[in-house]
Amino acid sequence: MKTRFPAEWEAQDAVLLAWPHENTPWAPCLESAQDNFLQIIRAILNFEKVILAVADLKHSESFSDKIPSGNMLIYETPGNDTWARDFGPITVFNDGNPLLLDFSFNGWGRKYPFDKDNLITRNLHRLGAFGNTSIESLDFVLEGGSIESDGCGTVMATSKCLLNPNRNPDLSKNQIENLLKTRLGAERILWLEHGHLEGDDTDSHIDTLARFAPGGKILYASCDRQDDPHYEDLSQMEEDLKSFRTHGGETYGLLPLPWPETEYYDKDERLPATYANFLVLNGAVLVPTYGDKKDLEALEIIKYAFPAREIIGINCLPLIRKHGSLHCVTMQIPKGVI
């Protein structure tokens, strides 16, 4: 049986999100968070369906008149938070047939409550959100934001996250590699040994640092300010990326993304703002922006990487205040699942 983990830029049926409500950490800033989610949902609906998990169907009444309903698929299921990238299903294709992999989610190493989020994928499947596609639950902790696929057998990840003992403490690096190769059909794993963002609760998710793009390209967070504490580590990450080779043995086309101005919460808590946390859709790329002078430059670089797609910036300052961004609150559902 041939297993393949598709690239994000391949055809999609929908994008999954979970609606923020008063019993999530968004409660102190709920209105701005919900407005931000509505912006993202509206943008996605111009290109494909949205699957929205709500803790209570009554919540949908608050936005039913604000978004087009034709492509909205709303399902009621409890949740602790809204980071669908990390508790949502990871879809692979076995001999061309989609399979939903429901890996375990433990709140990024038991940092936050996760019991309800860990059940969302199974609940949505039971409710018919994913059509007739089969699901398999795995006793292995893996978040969608921690892995990046080129669709051709290469998976990129960071050692700081996947090898962190707060995820799968009883497994060695070789065992984790073998599991990724077996379950995701990966032929090889490219490990980033460096790279982090202050304020990141995920232990260096790859989707905040480096992302594949078509044609053997990698977009990555780059810091050009030597006085910034990120400078040395991200420079070393760049050297890691330079050492990587494509399937054909060539160097990757590396596209450094600009470094936004430092963002703080309450002036003392640094936030992990990054342009690498973009979402690829069927006909567009949604890019997080931060009201920053580097926003336009980031959009232009991502346009170069995805020339056939519309590039849409969405101000994600409300999201970054909870230490995540646009890609983190979404999970694409590949074509054929629904």
**Catalytic residue list:** 328
Backbone angles phi, psi at 336, to 5 degrees: 110, -15
Q: Which one, of 288, 320, 219, lies nearest residue 43 by Cα?
A: 288
Helix (H) or strand (E) holding 45: helix 30-45
Q: Please state, in angstroms and rounded to a whole number, the distance separating the CA atoms of residues 151 and 135.
A: 20
Q: Tell me the pairing of strands 154-158 and 148-149.
A: antiparallel
Contact 254, 241 (CB under 8 A): yes
Q: Which two structure tokens, joined as six digits, stand for 123?
A: 């609940």
How far is the CA of 242 from the CAs of 154, 251, 305, 316, in angstroms? 16, 7, 18, 30
Contact 145, 206 (CB under 8 A): yes
Region of residue 96 (left: phi > 0; alpha: psi -120 to 50; beta: else): left
The 8-class DSSP code of residue 88 comes to S
Residue with tokens 């810091």: 223
Which amino acid, one-letter code, is at 328?
C
User: Edge-to-edge strands of the sheet including 284-289?
Assistant: 279-280, 284-289, 310-315
Q: What residues contact residue 44 under an 8 Å CB cut-off, 6+ apart?
A: 15, 50, 281, 286, 330
Q: Which one, of 332, 223, 250, 246, lies nearest residue 286 by Cα?
A: 332
